[in-house]
Structure 1
Amino acid sequence: MKHLYSFTWKKDEYELSRLEMRTFFNFDVAGNVLISEQKIEPSRSPFMRERLDIWAQGETIEDLVAFAKGLQLGDKTFKIHCLNNSDDAVEPKLDRKLRNDLMRTIGMAIDAEPDLAKPDVVLGLVFYEGVYYLGELVHGESVWLTHMKKPEMYSTALSTRDARAIVNIAVPFPKGLKVIDPCCGIGTVLVEAMSMGIPIEGRDMNKRVVWGSCINLRHFGYEPNVEIGPIEEANEGYDVAIIDMPYNLFTHISKELQQSIISNARRIAKRVVIVTIESMNNEIANANLNIIDQAIVKKGAFERQVLICE
């Protein structure tokens, strides 16, 4: 089965959204629609609006009508949603009358009871690049929004939206992987990972921020797995390390300590995803790591680099 995904992003997040897209699908697209055999839960991504599980496609609406006549929904109720509108932003945008006509034509062919309020199945209809698609529609939920207000916050911490994307970039397929955030700060990355069911360990040398991360994790219903101590004391055996390089008022960091963090990340993990506000190319090379992909995230004049290293 193929799946059609629609995306949305802010201007400054374009590179990050493409990097996340490449880690999920092994390719990216310039626009906001992607078709792939890879099945991803849309609520994982802060950029993914919905996923259409394609049941049928055709060059004309009559092709879909023929499929709809044989569709077996049993006792399930349904409604149809057309994605060619201003909110879903799939091009071309179709005017409301045409969308309603198309949905009515398909709906009349389905031998099941419609329910516009609380349907058992939401069917998606989309016209994209000359082809009509019909299938089950799965909407994403903006889970990261609920994590924006934490009991403990730092002004320089990653946004929950960016943190969620970075977790996906680090571990797009987390089953069986062992993950650590050895400079976890107040736990922004930890919260996003745990909310997606990704087991992750945290560590930080600053007692105060470890205390803050534990408060944040418990606030959202997650049991903290966070230790106090520098990365130099971390054991080996992780598949992925996610490092938002310390730079805020609570951590004064030297070049030597930066190098130690990256070198020890290389020691303990097979893959390292580094978030930094300054170039780390020399330190990364000194740690015998290679940058295999990257993106820049902007917030006004403030920039962060997201680097995937192996």
Structure 2
Amino acid sequence: MKTLTMAPRAYVYTFSWEPNEEALCAMERRALFGVDSQSGILESPLEIDPSRSPFIRERLSAICEGASLEDLIEEVKNLESFDGFKIIFTQNPDHEKVGFNKLREIEKEVGLHLKGEAELVNPDILLGIINTGDRWILGEYAKNEAIWLKHQWKPHSYSTALGTRVARAVVNIAAPDPKGKKLIDPCCGIGTVLVEALSMGMDIVGSDRNPLILPGVRENIAHFGLTGEVTLKDVRDVNGNYDAAIIDLPYNLCSVITREEQLQMLQRAKAFASKVVIVTVEDVDQVILEAGFQLTDRCAVAKGNFVRHVIVCE
């Protein structure tokens, strides 16, 4: 697929989420874009790969706009000529859904005024149109590939493990700008967080104190063609310096830990990571504060009566 040579004016993102994940979506958006919003559409100067997030549906790299569809068409007439394009009408999640016949009519109308030959079957360039509410925008179109869905089918899993959508969002919250950052998952369990981070090209290592699960973790990573370091180690024995740590606190019957052990874990984490994202099913606020952290953001993710808390500590 080709890309346009012209620089985008801005990026337009559309979002979708399950009702129980609305707070997590908002938290990830605050981390990635620095914006606190419940809207299903967002304009930003930041370029984020839509496949990074489990909540971004599409991205348009805006190249022209108009106050109305007619104004947009006038701007489209002035664009450079390029062949092999296909135009996709992008639904605005905050608006009533546009019917099939109407959106096809809009796609056709804009396409007729675009210089070059259209290619509907095997396009070289995908363009998207969206009505933001106050104007119409045309831009290069990119769709989320929902990579995390494939990661659900790993060789080894636990019923209590994080879901891949939640894990991917947590990784983005821990490292919204991962370039040059070193991450660690020192209680990696079966490796759900590691798979998500590695699939996004992040520099992350994992460890766990349970020797029985490590072969399964490594097999899960290799199953998706990824490579990553996983070692046998208690979080209290971790050394080195990391930009962020992701800690899914143990809670099931096989991994019961005391409040004192929680405190020791978090005190050690503060020594090796400047930022820690904690996932917990318990109220550990006081333990976090005793460990010397400040709570800078948080949300709850419910699944039935089961509630996980995601807490950012710095």
- The 3 A distance-change label for structure 1 pair 100 and 238 is same
Matching residue of 2:17: 9
User: Which deviates further from its counterpart, 208-217 or 291-300?
Assistant: 208-217
In the alignment, structure 2 segments of 5+ residues that lack a partner are 1-8
Offset of residue 203 of structure 1: 0.8
Offset of residue 45 of structure 1: 0.4
- The 3 A distance-change label for structure 1 pair 292 and 263 is same
Q: TM-score, normalised by structure 1?
A: 0.95
Q: TM-score, normalised by structure 2?
A: 0.94
Asked if the contact 1:92/1:127 (under 8 Å) is kept, the reply is no
Matching residue of 1:185: 189
Work out whether 1:54 is the aligned partner of 2:58.
no
1: CA distance, partners of 2:232 / 2:289: 28
Asked if the contact 1:3/1:54 (under 8 Å) is kept, the reply is yes
Matching residue of 1:98: 102
Matching residue of 2:227: 223
Work out whether 1:44 is the aligned partner of 2:52.
yes
Letter in 2 for 1:54: A
Query: How many matched pairs?
Result: 306
Offset of residue 236 of structure 1: 2.9
2: CA distance, partners of 1:140 / 1:82: 15
1: CA distance, partners of 2:78 / 2:36: 35
Identity %: 42
Question: After superposition, where does 1:1-310 map in structure 2 within 5 Å?
Answer: 1-74=9-82, 76-84=83-91, 89=93, 91-310=95-314
Matching residue of 2:6: none
Asked if the contact 1:179/1:239 (under 8 Å) is kept, the reply is yes
- The 3 A distance-change label for structure 1 pair 137 and 128 is same
Q: Give me the CA root mean square deviation.
A: 1.3
1: CA distance, partners of 2:275 / 2:157: 28
Asked if the contact 1:83/1:89 (under 8 Å) is kept, the reply is no
2: CA distance, partners of 1:244 / 1:211: 19
In the alignment, structure 1 segments of 5+ residues that lack a partner are none
Residue-by-residue CA offset, 1:10-33 (whole Å, 9 max, x unaligned): 010000000000001111322211
Offset of residue 90 of structure 1: 5.1
